[in-house]
Amino acid sequence: MQGVFVARRLGVSGSLLVQRALVGGATRGIVHGSQKPAADASIDFGELGLRYVPSKKPDKVLNKTFWTPPPSAGEKPVHEDIPFAVDRTLPGKSLPVYTDYKGGGTKVVTIVRKCRGDMQVMKEEMEKVCDSPVTIGLGKLTVDGNFHGRLKMWLTGLGF
């Protein structure tokens, strides 16, 4: 596909819109990783072939951040034999799932922090949930793409 890059100023702010002028005069915007939509969070986890299928439904979920209330003090995880755990943050009691933008916004990664236990099992389960390769770090797991909401719903369903 041949074309030339065209830049033009938008509005009063003067922000620059870069477009590719295609043969025939049509243009399309260049989509960065930060502009791509996030993965759908409302999927059926039972169809993914997970060893530990989430079965807990949260009472309430805040739409934008996917915050869910933490489990009560005496409540145990859905599966008692889960070899991994994710601790919630102290200030807001939220799950430590973060979205980071690399390479000037062209690459999006999702990071799950405060992980402990058998990281290899968690990595395998997380790869099934995200359908993308996962990298293990010290106390964290990283996956390419925006899986923020999906991972929070998965961890909430497991009882974390």
DSSP sequence for 14-66: TEEEEEEEETTS-EEEPPPGGGSPPPPS---GGGGT-SS---PPPS---TTT-
Residues 22 and 84 in one domain: no
Residues 69 and 125 in one domain: yes
Give the tens place of pLDDT for each residue, 57-72. 877 777 778 888 888 7
CATH number at residue 68: 3.30.780.10
Domain extent for 21: 3-30
In a domain, 38, yes or no: no
Q: Rounded to an integer, what distance in angstroms lies between the CA atom of residue 121 and that of residue 84? A: 7
Query: What mean pLDDT is predicted for residues 130-148?
Result: 94
Confidence of residue 152 (pLDDT cuts 50, 70, 90): very high
Residues 25 and 62 in one domain: no
Give the tens place of pLDDT for each residue, 93-122. 899 999 999 888 788 999 999 999 999 999
pTM (predicted TM-score): 0.75
Decide which of 123 and 13 is more confident.
123
SS3 content of the chain, % helix, strand, coil (to 5): 20, 30, 50
Hey, how many other C-beta atoms are within 10 angstroms of the C-beta on 33? 17
What Rg, from alpha-carbon coordinates, does the chain have?
Answer: 20
Summary mean pLDDT of the chain: 80
In a domain, 141, yes or no: yes
Start-to-end CA distance of the chain, whole Å, equals 48
Which residues lie below 8 Å from residue 126, measured CB to CB, with a gap of 6+? Answer: 112, 134, 141, 143, 151, 154
